[in-house]
Structure 1
């Protein structure tokens, strides 16, 4: 299967540049993963697609202000550092620009020396391992000096830093937001719980690997970067109890999906655990846990378009995206939402193979 099979044409003006004032007022395209039929709704209507006894899985990671602007003390050259993942207490893997100026041994100063970094070595794909030196608490210094690492397709300045975090973000460590969760408000989550839907909180710290372009012609040749996740005993029990009683597990975002699918055994039971995942989900994958997915609209030829195609079938997804373009939906991180699944009164159909048969 070729990467080009997942291309669609997107006018640049449909890329959302700013979050909506009311998080839950974005539009939502509802796609039936079995029939490929769609309807147009507003995101707060998501509650109509959830049954009592279902389980909503949310990723409670928090984006850190991971973008640092510094200088080389010896030359004054401007340096940009984007923190990707913590390797040890004060050692981070980071994306640096311009890379040619930062060989092992080079030093960078941030905030007039409030924070300094030393390049230890060159990591995979030209990233750097940086050891930081400072007085005080690293997180407080980062909060003072760092900027939110918005994707390159967002050109506008973010007025409020917390708008690039979900309302339930707790555990700091992400370089990018789990953007499907940005649509939820505390009030909507409360309504969902009152309806009898369980909410299971898991953590996956989002790296940039998920969003890197697929450079391989054949998708099977693409390698995913690893991301750290944690699943508590409480979250695992909620998901397993839902499956046992015949409820549906609806994941909020591809990060939640990848987490539960990484930690599921072959019998479809979720394990409480932590670790690193490189799972790559594309058509042909048989889902072990997930029944439905709340997500945003993703970049053409991205691993995320491939993931949603595994759930609903490539033709159904590309047709739905074509409809979203025609109807002028807002795309990507601050854009509108999709719900991909079965309607509440349908029996659950769990595998991508069955989706393919319905075409």
Structure 2
């Protein structure tokens, strides 16, 4: 299967640059997984598609202010580090800009010395392993000095950092938000619970690999990035009971989907687990755990649109995307949503 099979024309003005004031007022396209149904709704209407006994699975990761801007100790030259993932005690894999300054043993200062970083190693992919030195708690230092790492296609400054967090974010560790969850408010979640729908949480720390383009012609040759996940026994038990009853498991976002499909067995049962996943889902994949998906509108030729196409069919998804462009839906992180059910 070719990467170009997932190409579509997207006018740049449809890339959402800022979040809506009311999270739930974004538009919602409802796409029939096994039918030709396509409806235009608003996100607050999503509750209409849930039944008592269904389970909604949310990713409770929290984005860390992972962009650090500092200077080289010897020369004062500017450096920017983007923390991708923790790989040991005070050791992080980072992107560096410019890379030529970030050679092994180079030291950098952030916040006038409140945080120091030393390059330990340059990896084959060009990323750096950096050891940090500081007083107190690393999370507190990062909260003070770091900036929110917005996706590369967002050019406007975010006024309120919390708008790039879900209202249920809890476990710190992501370099990007699980954006399908940005549409929920606490009030909407309470309404969903009141309808008899289970709401459960897992954690997958989103890496910037989620924005990495597919650079091979045949998608089967793409090397998928890996991300850390955790799922509790309580969450696993509720999902398994839902499957046994014949109710729907509805994943919120591609991150929740990838976690569940990583740990699901051939019968769609899941268990308490943690680890790293590099699962790559594209058409031909048979879903085992999830029955429905809430997701945003994704980049052309991305692994995310491939995952969505595996659930609803490539032709149907691309036709839905053409309709979204025609109807001027807002795309990507701060954009509108799609429910495939």
Query: Does the alignment reach a TM-score above 0.5?
Result: yes
Q: Deviations over 1:268-287 (max 9, x none)?
A: 11011100000000000001
Output the CA distance in 1 between the equivalents of 2:36 and 2:314: 10
Q: Deviations over 1:295-342 (max 9, x none)?
A: 00000100000000000000000000000000000000000000011x
Output the CA distance in 1 between the equivalents of 2:321 and 2:124: 34
Output the CA distance in 2 between the equivalents of 1:89 and 1:339: 40
- 1:76-91 alignment to 2 at 5 Å? 76-91=76-91
Output the CA distance in 2 between the equivalents of 1:37 and 1:212: 32
- 1:266-345 alignment to 2 at 5 Å? 266-341=266-341
What SS class does the counterpart of residue 325 from structure 1 fall into? Answer: helix
Partner of 2:211: 211
Q: Deviations over 1:186-243 (max 9, x none)?
A: 0000000010000110000000112200001000000111100000000000100000
How far did 1:148 drift? 0.4
How far did 1:33 drift? 1.3
Give 4+ residue runs of structure 1 displaced > 3 Å after superposition. none
Partner of 2:121: 121
Pair 1:256 & 2:256 matched: yes
How far did 1:101 drift? 1.3
- 1:37-56 alignment to 2 at 5 Å? 37-56=37-56
How far did 1:15 drift? 0.4
Pair 1:135 & 2:135 matched: yes
Output the CA distance in 1 between the equivalents of 2:267 and 2:309: 23
- 1:78-117 alignment to 2 at 5 Å? 78-117=78-117
How far did 1:36 drift? 3.3
Contact 1:66–1:82 (Cα < 8 Å) also in 2: yes
What SS class does the counterpart of residue 201 from structure 1 fall into? Answer: strand
How far did 1:31 drift? 0.6
Output the CA distance in 2 between the equivalents of 1:44 and 1:339: 12
Pair 1:182 & 2:182 matched: yes
Output the CA distance in 1 between the equivalents of 2:26 and 2:340: 16
Output the CA distance in 1 between the equivalents of 2:5 and 2:80: 35
Partner of 1:15: 15
Output the CA distance in 2 between the equivalents of 1:124 and 1:326: 42
Q: Deviations over 1:49-70 (max 9, x none)?
A: 1111100000000000000001
- Structure 1's unaligned 5+ residue stretches are 342-359
Output the CA distance in 2 between the equivalents of 1:267 and 1:136: 47
Partner of 2:35: 35
Pair 1:234 & 2:237 matched: no
Question: Normalising by structure 2, what TM-score?
Answer: 0.99
RMSD: 0.7
- Structure 2's unaligned 5+ residue stretches are none
Output the CA distance in 2 between the equivalents of 1:251 and 1:318: 21
Output the CA distance in 1 between the equivalents of 2:36 and 2:180: 21
Contact 1:265–1:271 (Cα < 8 Å) also in 2: no
